[in-house]
Amino acid sequence: MADTQSNTMNAPAEGTAVASAPAAPSGPITFVWGTGRRKTSVARVRIRPGSGKISVNERELNDYFTNERDRKAIFGPFEVTNTGGKLDVFARCNGGGPSGQAGAVILGLARALSRYDSTLEQSLRNAGFLTRDPRMKERKKYGQRGARRRFQFSKR
């Protein structure tokens, strides 16, 4: 008898609709994440549909990257995928210098774009934006002044 009572309690009553899966949230704007690395720099990049605003460490792109080459390189993934001006980009960078951080932002942006729209992945991969650059600083060796440089040789 206990079994029949539990079954009737769990079953929906006649005339009531069964709740379906919850719908996507309509209030907060959802972001798409991508992580990029270059040398010792790490960039966490978020994108969302918007007006094309780019901010790095809560500063405008032109204020953060002073080198023209770095600023132009960041627009590379947008040019390949024709998504310039349609997405807002928010990046957080840690470590390394300006050039390494720019490379990390480019990789993170490309990964976020490929996650945002999977049809863009092939064009990004063909342009080389989804390939992580493995070049790192070579370590200093013992018995030497640097990674390759030796101490001055003395004959006598």
Q: Which fold has domain 30-127?
A: Ribosomal Protein S5; domain 2 (3.30.230)
pLDDT at 71: 92
Q: What is the DSSP letter of 58?
A: T
Q: What is the pLDDT of residue 14?
A: 56
Tell which residue, 45, 33, 48, 44, has the closest CA to residue 87: 48
Hey, is 60 helix, strand or coil?
strand
**What confidence score (pLDDT) does residue 21 get?**
41
Whole-angstrom distance, CA of residue 27 vs CA of residue 84: 25
Burial 49-76 (b: 16+ CB within 10 A, else e): eeeeebebeeeebeebbeeeebeebbeb
What does pTM read for this prediction? 0.77
User: What pLDDT is recorded for position 20?
Assistant: 46
Check residue 139 and report its DSSP letter. P
pLDDT tens for the chain, 156 residues: list them.
Answer: 454 554 445 555 555 554 444 444 455 768 899 999 999 999 999 999 999 999 999 999 999 999 999 999 999 999 999 998 899 999 999 999 999 999 999 999 999 999 999 999 999 999 999 999 999 999 999 999 999 999 999 998
CA–CA separation, 64 vs 70, rounded Å? Answer: 10
